[in-house]
Structure 1
């Protein structure tokens, strides 16, 4: 009886291994990523970023940083180190391409963060003083992102604000330029910028 039970367990393990070996990017996105980010990448919780329409190159970079455990912010540690640790380069590229191809849905403007959207627009399009360049120079005129910088349009304001605070530390080592920029902005500026970007 024990031998039969062990054979059944071994068969199930082999079948699950084969299934994982054949997992495609859409299957990964809809089975793993969807729990937090939504099946189409339009997450509803401000705890988790929206991935729909995000730049594929940026998603690949971030997934590799999660896999290497180079991003040390708390959310990266709690949610992404374990998930990304099991992905190979082809799977990372496939998942990134899947979410990049999804349609980004509008995000209700200003929810979760105080007003100041006009001030946020001013910072985004013109910068602030000599220390803070205009955000659109890297992220695009409508915050759609570029090959070098992520899409910010429609992102949850609360998530953006949290990441802007993380940039002020050394927890995201690949974002050295952002560390200097964030130090040139007040808390009111950061709130206004996040609210403006969510509404785009």
Structure 2
């Protein structure tokens, strides 16, 4: 019998915390994360973000935000709220360390060259006339991430585009800086940035 995500969410929410928190970080990642993000964090589906090589601190912050419902992400948030609610702080930290230690692979999905070229200009230089800062100032020259910005390189263009639109809403209220930046971008610029980011490695 096919199990829907809604049904799975219901089953997960009924499981005791200690059941999900048992085992190594790799065991947990394979059991609870691999179905969407793959075991090594190099998700092949644009519906799910790539986690391989992401800063552990950023993953922790996002899981905690999902756990306390301060991050909402449209259709996915109920499912991830359910997953995160079952994880204690140590388990969250262990899973974050596991994915941060995985090797990020190049994203080989096709991108439109013209869009990627425009995105490169915005990513590296911003647009002073519109008040758009260069993305590399926080995310690193190759999108590898820094102390103030998560890794972006190789992330799915569709996911990046979706999240940039989410920043423009009230679904991620803690990201004040990104909310202000996204307001300087039009839809074509968002698409261009997403295409360039996906091609980075």
TM-score by length of 1: 0.86
Aligned length: 184
- Decide whether the 8 Å contact of 2:30 with 2:39 is kept in 1: yes
User: Aligned in 2, Cα 1:20/1:46: closer, same or farther, shift over 3 Å?
Assistant: closer
Mapping for residues 88-107 of structure 1, pairs under 5 Å: 88-107=88-107
**1:128 aligned partner:** 127
User: Aligned in 2, Cα 1:55/1:75: closer, same or farther, shift over 3 Å?
Assistant: farther
**1:167 aligned partner:** 167
* Offset of residue 78 of structure 1: 3.2
1:154 corresponds to 2:154: yes
**2:176 aligned partner:** 176
**1:38 aligned partner:** 38
Unmatched tracts of structure 2, length 5 or more: 1-15
Q: The residue matched to 2:104 in structure 1 has which SS?
A: coil
* Offset of residue 75 of structure 1: 4.0
The whole-number CA distance in structure 2 between the counterparts of 1:52 and 1:128 is 30
* Offset of residue 133 of structure 1: 0.6
The whole-number CA distance in structure 2 between the counterparts of 1:17 and 1:152 is 31
**1:85 aligned partner:** 85
CA displacement, residues 46-93 of structure 1 (integer Å, 9 cap, x when unaligned): 000000000111000000000001112214423310000010110000
- Decide whether the 8 Å contact of 1:110 with 1:196 is kept in 2: no
The whole-number CA distance in structure 1 between the counterparts of 2:196 and 2:48 is 18
User: Aligned in 2, Cα 1:176/1:48: closer, same or farther, shift over 3 Å?
Assistant: same
**1:8 aligned partner:** none
TM-score by length of 2: 0.86
* Offset of residue 148 of structure 1: 2.2
1:63 corresponds to 2:63: yes
- Decide whether the 8 Å contact of 1:48 with 1:159 is kept in 2: yes
Considering only CA atoms, is the larger Rg found in Structure 1 or Structure 2? 1
- Decide whether the 8 Å contact of 2:49 with 2:156 is kept in 1: yes
* Offset of residue 186 of structure 1: 1.1
Aligned-residue CA RMSD in angstroms? 1.8
Unmatched tracts of structure 1, length 5 or more: 1-15
